[in-house]
C-alpha cells in the first residue's frame, strides 16, 4: 500500500494549472481528492479525469468567502470522514506598477492568496490535528524575493509564508506538518488571468510558457515533498539561486531582478 492510498486531500484552485495537476496525481496514487474552485460545472467535468466517482468530490468554493471555505471542509468530512492534507493552491497574480495601480487590485490579491489560505486552514486545522496531517501553502519564489510590477502578488506570498511558518511553530508538538512550497515560473493560466492596473485580466502571458516547468512536474515535486513531510521546498535552479542571492546579496539581487523584468515582453518598466 502506497503513502497516498486512502489519504483524503483537499486541493483549492483545482480547476487548472498546478491545482488540477496535483489533483490528478493524488488521484492516480490512490488518494480521495476533494477539488475546490469557483466554476462547479468545469470542476465536475474535470473530476472525472482525477479519480473514480467514489474517490473524488467537486465543491464550488470561493476561497475569499469564509463561509464557502467552512462548507468545503464540512463537505470533505461528510463525504470521507477525515482530512489528511490541505493544499492551499488557489491564487491570483497581477502585473502593473504600484504607482498606476487601483488599490482594489491589491485587495483582490490579498483576499484570494492570503485570506483564502487562512480561511481554508482555519476550518481544516482541527481535522488535520486529528490525523496528524499536513497543510501546504503553494507560494512562489516571489514570496522570498521581491518581484517588480507584482507588489500585491509578492506581498500576499510573503504573508502566506509568515502565516504558515508561524503555524508550524505553534503546532510543533502536535504532529502537524506545515509545508511552504515555492514553485518557480510554472506553465499555467495564472499569467493570462493576472490583473492589470485597473483590475482587468491581462489576457496574455509575457513569458514563453513552453520553456517553463510544467504543472505536472510541479505536482510530482509536491507529492514527493509531502511524502517526506518536508517543511520548505523551492523549485527550479533559478528560483533557488534567487532566494540565496536575495539573502546574501540583496542589493545585487535587486539590480539583477530589475534587469530581468525589464527584458519581459511589454515590460512595465518601459
Q: What angle do CA 90, 222, 240 make, to 5 degrees?
A: 95
How many whole angstroms separate alpha carbon 48 and alpha carbon 52? 7
Active-site positions read 153
Rg of the Cα atoms in the chain: 18
Q: Any bridge partners for residue 213, and if so which?
A: 186
Element (H, E) at 88: strand 85-88
For residue 57, list its beta bridge partners: 34
The span from the CA of 100 to the CA of 163, in Å, is: 29
Beta strands in the chain (DSSP E): 8-12, 32-37, 56-60, 85-88, 134-138, 177-182, 232-234
* Burial environment of residue 265 by CB neighbours within 10 A (0 to 12, 13 to 18, 19 or more): exposed
Task: Give the orientation angle of helix 116-131 with respect to helix 66-80, to 10 degrees.
Answer: 30
Amino acid at each position: 500500500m502506497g503513502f497516498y492510498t486512502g489519504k483524503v486531500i483537499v486541493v483549492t484552485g483545482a480547476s487548472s494549472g498546478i491545482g488540477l495537476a496535483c489533483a490528478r496525481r493524488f488521484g492516480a496514487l490512490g488518494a480521495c481528492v476533494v477539488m475546490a474552485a469557483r466554476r462547479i460545472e468545469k470542476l465536475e467535468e474535470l473530476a472525472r479525469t482525477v479519480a473514480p466517482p467514489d474517490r473524488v468530490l467537486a465543491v464550488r468554493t470561493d476561497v475569499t468567502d469564509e463561509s464557502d471555505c467552512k462548507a468545503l471542509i464540512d463537505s470533505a468530512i461528510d463525504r470521507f470522514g477525515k482530512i489528511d492534507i490541505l493544499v492551499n493552491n488557489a491564487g491570483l497574480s497581477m502585473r502593473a506598477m504600484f504607482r498606476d495601480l487601483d488599490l482594489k487590485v491589491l485587495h483582490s490579491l490579498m483576499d484570494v492568496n492570503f485570506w483564502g489560505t487562512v480561511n481554508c486552514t482555519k476550518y481544516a486545522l482541527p481535522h488535520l490535528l486529528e490525523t496528524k496531517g499536513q497543510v501546504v501553502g503553494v507560494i512562489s519564489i516571489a514570496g522570498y524575493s521581491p518581484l517588480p510590477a507584482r507588489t500585491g502578488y509578492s506581498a500576499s506570498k510573503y504573508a502566506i509564508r509568515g502565516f504558515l511558518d508561524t503555524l508550524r511553530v505553534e503546532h510543533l508538538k502536535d504532529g502537524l506538518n506545515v509545508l511552504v512550497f515555492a514553485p518557480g515560473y510554472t506553465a499555467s493560466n495564472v499569467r493570462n488571468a493576472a490583473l492589470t492596473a485597473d483590475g482587468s485580466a491581462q489576457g496574455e502571458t509575457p513569458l514563453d510558457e513552453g520553456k517553463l516547468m510544467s504543472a505536472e512536474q510541479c505536482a510530482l515535486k509536491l507529492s514527493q515533498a509531502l511524502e517526506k513531510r518536508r517543511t520548505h521546498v523551492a523549485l527550479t535552479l533559478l528560483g533557488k539561486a534567487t532566494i540565496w542571492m536575495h539573502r546574501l546579496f540583496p542589493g545585487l539581487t535587486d539590480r539583477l531582478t530589475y534587469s530581468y523584468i525589464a527584458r519581459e515582453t511589454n515590460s512595465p518598466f518601459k
